[in-house]
Amino acid sequence: MRTHRTTARATAFVLVLLGLAAAILASPAGGSSNGVPKIVFPLVAKTLWWDSYGDPRPNGMHTGIDIEAPWRAPVVAVEAGRVEYGESSLGGCMLYLHGRGGTTYMYIHLNNDVTARFDNRGRCHETAYAVPNGARVAAGERVAWNGDSGDAEGNPHLHFEVHPNGGSPSNPYLHLKRASRPLFAAKPGSVFSLALRGKVVASGPVALTLDVNRVRHYPGGRWVDIDRRTVKLAVVPDKVVSQSMPPSRRPSSASASVVVYTVKGKTTMPAIVGADKALRVARVAAR
């Protein structure tokens, strides 16, 4: 386990100075990716965030972006790579993801609570992480749980940093804006199915388009609110309409509020990010 002076408020002052040039290159005006590949968004949750990189903080410049999300929301690997645990008094439970392409990503303020009362009773290795220290992970795989450890007490959020080539921090904003949004978090090849809540946007013989705002992952998942997004699912003939659904609320009705259950299958990256027709409809029921 690595200890680190980095916090959600700032990294060490020297690192800030070294990172200024990288921050300029990664600013919206420059639009440079700094060699960072397109990433998967680091949370499966309904989120609130903005470009807070570079904001003045008591300990120096803010070297990441804070993403507000519910307690214990799934935190996922944004790129394939290797994880390393970390811990500090201000950053709390932290995780380093050493991406396969050379970028290091930092996840800070992970969960250290045993209950939802923000009790701080858990040790990081018991409450923060979903994979072993040193594990090799795939993009979209769950690696941790969101929390409020360190100086984020009572304010669960993920402080997320991007370090191209494992060096100084750069602004994560453009990378997060371009990121593919995961519908769920899972290890590639694992068996899954989903329940998607939302409103019908369009329906046809081969596809059903849904405006989704809640997702449940099987096996063992719970309903999770997510940022609203449109998902186009492939239709499996003769398996779509629930017999209990009245004709006025069947999927051909635009704006019908429904729950769509997907066909069980093996996890792939297109399925995780809800790519067009990567998910197949097994059943539709009235919400």
CATH code of 141's domain: 2.70.70.10
Task: Provide the pLDDT for residue 56.
Answer: 86
Residue 67: inside a domain? yes
Confidence of residue 249 (pLDDT cuts 50, 70, 90): very low
- Do 26 and 144 have their domain in common? yes
H runs (alpha helix) in 26-129: 124-127
Spatial separation of the C-alpha atoms in residues 277 and 287, rounded to whole Å: 22
Give 5's pLDDT tier (boundaries 50, 70, 90): very low
Amino acid identity of residue 200, one-letter, is: V
Shared-domain flag, residues 217 and 244: yes
The residue range of the domain holding 6 is 2-178
In this structure, the answer to whether residues 174 and 275 fall within a common structural domain is no
Q: Measuring CA to CA, how many Å separate 87 from each of 65, 82, 106, 148? A: 19, 17, 11, 13
Contact (Cβ atoms closer than 8 angstroms) between residue 251 and residue 240: yes
User: pTM (2 decimals)?
Assistant: 0.85
Domain assignment present for 185 = no
Mean pLDDT of the chain: 87
Residues 28 and 106 grouped into a single domain: yes
Four-point Cα dihedral 49, 55, 56, 60, nearest 10 = 90
Number of domains present in the structure of the chain: 2
pLDDT of residue 4: 55
Main-chain phi, psi angles of 14, to 5 degrees: -65, -40
* Residue position matching structure tokens 């935190």: 75
Bridge partners of residue 263, in order along the sequence: none
Residue-wise pLDDT for 226-238, tens only, equals 999 999 999 977 6
Angle 166-168-172 (CA atoms, 0-180°, nearest 5)?
90
